[in-house]
Amino acid sequence: MVSFEAQYNQYFKPVYAYILARVRNAAAAEDISANTWQKCYENLASYDPAKGTFSQWLFTIARNETNMYWRLFWVTHIFSLTDTPDELFPGTDKTPAEQTEEKNLRERVLRAVGKLSAKERDLVALKFYSGLNNRQIAAVTKLSESNVGTVLYRALHKMRRLMGPL
């Protein structure tokens, strides 16, 4: 088994990015991330590699902690990525025209994601913000792998339709 510190160093950024995408608030994301890692540390002895990978187990904890955050604040929609902070999209050395074009595309994508259902947004966040594959997402969400693939396919198709031609 790899040390907790090594797991923390490997997975901190993806877990934080997933949580931040879900809550759109850096302070809340830091708190939820801290709770996630605390639960991970406290329950490390209960992790069973036969039931799935460490990342699947960890993202299940992160997802549960994020869902608890929203339940406690009586939120009816899990999250909307329409106002995602720019820190999820680091800048590059592009020309002003390229930066403007990229910003416009990002805004169109985020508006389209904001119009997805809560389930679709959750799966899109797990796939594209956390980098999990469909099998890992299925383990985290307790959905079948084929259901995850179908929902993601339909969500991306819906996003393309909402965004129009590129």
Does residue 13 fall inside a structural domain?
yes
H or E stretch covering 71: helix 54-72
Whether residues 52 and 99 share a domain: the answer is: no
The residue range of the domain holding 137 is: 92-166
Whether residues 75 and 108 share a domain: the answer is: no
**Average pLDDT across the chain, whole number:** 82
Give the tokens for residue 12: 């901190």
Cα separation of 145 and 123, whole Å?
A: 12
Does residue 105 fall inside a structural domain?
yes
Which residue positions in the chain have pLDDT lower than 50?
Answer: 74-85, 87-89
Task: Decide which of 19, 48, 79 is a domain's last residue.
Answer: 79
Q: pTM for the full model?
A: 0.52
Whether residues 74 and 102 share a domain: the answer is: no
Cα separation of 100 and 87, whole Å?
A: 16
For tokens 């809560």, the residue is: 118
Does residue 84 fall inside a structural domain?
no
Cα separation of 9 and 44, whole Å?
A: 16
pLDDT of residue 160: 85
pLDDT in tens, 65-83: 998 887 665 433 333 444 4
Whether residues 1 and 75 share a domain: the answer is: yes
Whether residues 59 and 104 share a domain: the answer is: no
Task: Decide which of 52, 79, 106 is a domain's last residue.
Answer: 79
Residue closest to 29 by CA, chosen among 85, 106, 103, 111: 85
Residue closest to 124 by CA, chosen among 151, 163, 145: 151
The alpha carbon dihedral of 61, 67, 68, 70 has a sign of positive
For residue 154, what is the domain's CATH number? 1.10.10.10
Does residue 5 fall inside a structural domain?
yes
How many Cα atoms are found within 13 Å in the side-chain-facing hemisphere of 147?
10
Whether residues 99 and 75 share a domain: the answer is: no
Q: What total of structural domains would you count in the chain?
A: 2
Does residue 25 fall inside a structural domain?
yes
Does residue 87 fall inside a structural domain?
no
Whether residues 4 and 60 share a domain: the answer is: yes
